[in-house]
Amino acid sequence: MECLAHFNIMETNPTTKQKGFPPVGHRRWVIAEGYIPGTSIGPKPAMVSHETACVLNVSEEDAHLEITIFYSDQEPIGPYKVTVPARRTKHIRFNDLTDPQPIPRDKDYASVIESNVAVVVQHTRLDSRQAENALMTTMAFADTETVMMR
Amino acid sequence: MECLAHFNIMETNPTTKQKGFPPVGHRRWVIAEGYIPGTSIGPKPAMVSHETACVLNVSEEDAHLEITIFYSDQEPIGPYKVTVPARRTKHIRFNDLTDPQPIPRDKDYASVIESNVAVVVQHTRLDSRQAENALMTTMAFADTETVMMR
Amino acid sequence: MECLAHFNIMETNPTTKQKGFPPVGHRRWVIAEGYIPGTSIGPKPAMVSHETACVLNVSEEDAHLEITIFYSDQEPIGPYKVTVPARRTKHIRFNDLTDPQPIPRDKDYASVIESNVAVVVQHTRLDSRQAENALMTTMAFADTETVMMR
Amino acid sequence: MECLAHFNIMETNPTTKQKGFPPVGHRRWVIAEGYIPGTSIGPKPAMVSHETACVLNVSEEDAHLEITIFYSDQEPIGPYKVTVPARRTKHIRFNDLTDPQPIPRDKDYASVIESNVAVVVQHTRLDSRQAENALMTTMAFADTETVMMR
């Protein structure tokens, strides 16, 4: 197998001997579908209806995210600020976002996720409004344009 | 964080202080799967079986969409015209499209969505034909060719 | 809205006044997940467990597809030949493919779909092994390399 | 149909007369969502809750994969090594990965899959925690950067 010049054993972490990854992904992602059901059935918290943006930051730098929520009948709200540390994943539940304000239940929305370093974003919804769950997932849309951070 | 030259606080909307977004996405999207079940179980309207194109227009300009529906056994029908205002999302239910004619139930179809400004399109289906719901979603296929509007 | 030079009202079909579309999509698609459950519950044929490749051909030329099925423990089988007429969609059930041989139930497979003209392919599975259905969908992987037809 | 110069009947396999495929896909893929439920309902093994990476290697060369698992609260673990033979698919259950260590249940994770030859990766989860199944799938995110193998 090939081994490129910028291959990089992380000298600062000799016990796990993990290689370092360059940033992978993009710096702006879009999820056009968003909807948090207002009711749930099943044990909490795993079975509470939720809408999730799963973010992976493989890089050696913390990713500072800014999430903007768009609605059908009002101006967009944001930024919601979330940090995904270096070499970590974070499964962000839209249900849990509260600052600047919670996302209403039973209302259509969409989101734009911007980051200072490249990340990968996948969208998942667990809907437990009825006795059995329904699941759906998709990779978010990766925008290839330059990101404008605030 | 970097802050590009075309960063643009929306001076016309000083109370929300939202930054402006450039257009994000593409101007032609394709959903190859389409099927509206003829029957539903559960409270209306949230639990009616439906097929949705979730569209996000982050730009400062209204997006005028033209949707063309393709079938397996007849000529395509369209355009269905839908407007997604600037800085808004719209979750378009194919069930609700009526002009030039409603989309038949229990019949395979596919759709092409064209817009004058770049948008992002995500496809979702809620199937409530049986006691429990099933959900599925995917980003639509983004065509990178130049769009030909009528 | 812009109106490009190759904009093309289909003169041969004056009653519907549909515009013509150029080919949209790609000529080789991959679905890495494939599995037809061996059992079903519910009314036939709509509720039979099935795995589908939804293909949309918006162009003015018939699309001649060649599907190759890959397995985990034997050589690939194909080509399965399917035609999607001009301006039509076809929702191909893998369950229904019989020539050169049916696809076994309860066995992992994957598929490559090649076409002489650009098409869009979306993958959907309805799983009705238990009392309630499960649904999943994703756009297939669009290969951008040149297609080699047999 | 066109027939390019590098069209290549596999002379070494005259009985099946399969054509050879060039490598299709990419050499690094990302799945940002990962979660193996700790409990299942239904007959084993088909109905055990599982999280799967379906990999297709259409090429004439074995694909040697290296999977790295990322967590929200600890350093990444890997590589998990898996081989997908030439002209074969393999549906890899994350549940079954044990070396260097099993993936914990009921814990968020994400994964990077690297290969020495181009492959296609699709992510699927079957969740059978409740009486009825839920299914979800998406193509993994294909990174177009050069892969650095260890």
Q: Which two tokens stand for residue B40?
A: 């539903």
Check whether B4 has a pLDDT greater than 60: no
Say how many C-beta atoms besides its own lie within 10 A of residue C37's C-beta: 19
| C148 contacts D58? CB cut-off 8 A | no
Q: Cα separation of B148 and A77, whole Å?
A: 33
Q: Cα separation of D17 and C110, whole Å?
A: 19
Q: Cα separation of C27 and C147, whole Å?
A: 6
Q: What string of pLDDT tens digits covers the 150 residues of chain A?
A: 332 323 333 334 434 445 688 899 999 999 999 988 776 555 555 556 688 999 999 999 999 999 999 999 999 999 999 999 999 999 999 999 999 999 998 899 999 999 999 999 999 987 665 555 678 899 999 987 655 554
Looking at every residue in chain D, the average pLDDT score rounds to 81
| DSSP states of chain A | ----TT--B-TT-TTT-PBP----SEEEEEE------S---SSTTTTS-EEEEEEEE-SSS-EEEEEEEEESSS--EEEEEEEE-TTEEEEEEGGG--SS-PPPSS--EEEEEEEEEEEEEEEEEEE-SSSS-EEEEEEPEEE-SPP---
- B28 in contact with C, Cβ within 8 Å: yes
* CB within 8 Å of A16: residues ≥ 6 apart: D75, D76, D77
ipTM of the prediction: 0.82
- A136 in contact with C, Cβ within 8 Å: yes
The answer to whether B136 and B34 have CB atoms below 8 angstroms apart is no
Chain A positions in Cβ-Cβ contact with residue C134 (cut-off 8 Å): 134
Confidence (pLDDT) at C9 = 34
Mean pLDDT of B115-124: 95
Chains touching chain A at 3 or more Cβ pairs under 8 angstroms? B, C, D
**Neighbouring C-alpha atoms within 13 Å toward the C-beta of C90:** 17
- B41 in contact with C, Cβ within 8 Å: no
Q: Which domains, ranges and CATH numbers included, belong to chain A?
A: 22-143 (2.60.290.11)
Check whether B46 has a pLDDT greater than 70: no
pTM of the model as a whole: 0.85
**Neighbouring C-alpha atoms within 13 Å toward the C-beta of D30:** 27
CA distances to A104, A129, D129 from A41, in Å: 19, 6, 13
Q: Cα separation of D146 and A54, whole Å?
A: 24
The answer to whether A65 and A117 have CB atoms below 8 angstroms apart is no
Tell whether the torsion through CA atoms of C25, C26, C32 and C37 is positive or negative.
positive
| B132 contacts D132? CB cut-off 8 A | yes
Query: Is residue D48 exposed (0-12), middle (13-18) or buried (19+ Cβ within 10 Å)?
Result: middle
The answer to whether C113 and B134 have CB atoms below 8 angstroms apart is no
The answer to whether D132 and B132 have CB atoms below 8 angstroms apart is yes
Partner residue opposite C7 with nearest CB, options B123, B145, B148: B148
Mean pLDDT of B112-122: 96
Confidence (pLDDT) at A70 = 98
* CB within 8 Å of A144: residues ≥ 6 apart: A26
Cis-peptide into A23, omega within 30 deg: no
Partner residue opposite A76 with nearest CB, options B18, B133, B138: B18
DSSP structure class, residue B130: S
Chains touching chain C at 3 or more Cβ pairs under 8 angstroms? A, B, D
Q: What is the pLDDT of residues D104-123, one digit of tens each?
A: 988 999 999 999 999 999 99
Q: Cα separation of A135 and C141, whole Å?
A: 21
Q: Cα separation of C29 and C120, whole Å?
A: 8
Residue C145: closest CA among C29, C35, C39:
C29
Q: What is the pLDDT of residues D65-86, one digit of tens each?
A: 999 999 999 999 999 999 999 9
| Minimal-distance CA residue of chain C relative to B145 | C24
pLDDT band at C128 (very low <50, low <70, confident <90, very high): low
The answer to whether C53 and C66 have CB atoms below 8 angstroms apart is no
Q: Cα separation of C107 and C72, whole Å?
A: 9
- A144 in contact with B, Cβ within 8 Å: no
Measured in residues, chain B has a length of 150
Q: Which two tokens stand for residue A10?
A: 């992380």
Confidence (pLDDT) at B5 = 29
Chain B positions in Cβ-Cβ contact with residue A132 (cut-off 8 Å): 132-133
The answer to whether C35 and C71 have CB atoms below 8 angstroms apart is no
The answer to whether B148 and C4 have CB atoms below 8 angstroms apart is yes
Confidence (pLDDT) at B16 = 46
Check whether B79 has a pLDDT greater than 70: yes
Q: What is the distance in angstroms between the Cα of C136 and the nearest Cα belonging to chain A? A: 7
Partner residue opposite A138 with nearest CB, options C132, C134, C138: C138
| Minimal-distance CA residue of chain A relative to D65 | A1
Mean pLDDT of B104-123: 95
DSSP structure class, residue B85: -
The answer to whether B90 and B15 have CB atoms below 8 angstroms apart is no
Scored b (16 or more CB within 10 A) or e, D64-96 reads ebbbbbbbeeeebbbbbebebeebbbbbbebbe
Q: Which two tokens stand for residue B99?
A: 């002009």
Partner residue opposite B124 with nearest CB, options A33, A139, A143: A33
Mean pLDDT of C18-28: 85
